[in-house]
């Protein structure tokens, strides 16, 4: 599940429009990483918490 969340955040970041100078795939992917890494960490923590409750 955490990997799926990570990929979804990156796909959203790459697909949204950006400013004129930053409209390349590389810049969008870099900005996507800034959002995706914390979301990945939260998803891993939630996943571990849910698994430990079973």
Taking the domains of the chain in order of start, what are their residue ranges? 2-52
pTM of this structure = 0.81
What pLDDT is stored for residue 47 in this prediction?
95
What pLDDT is stored for residue 45 in this prediction?
97
**Tokens, residue 30:** 């870099």
- Alpha-carbon gap, residue 14 to 32, rounded angstroms: 7
- Alpha-carbon gap, residue 24 to 14, rounded angstroms: 9
16 touches 27 (CB < 8 A): no
pLDDT single digits (tens) 4-51: 999 999 999 999 998 888 889 999 999 999 999 999 999 999 999 999
């Amino acid at each position: 599940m955490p990997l799926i969340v990570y990929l979804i955040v990156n796909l959203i970041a790459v697909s949204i429009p950006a400013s004129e100078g930053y409209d390349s795939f590389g810049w969008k992917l870099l900005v996507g990483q800034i959002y995706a890494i914390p979301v990945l960490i939260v998803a891993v923590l939630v996943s571990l918490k849910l698994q430990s409750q079973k």
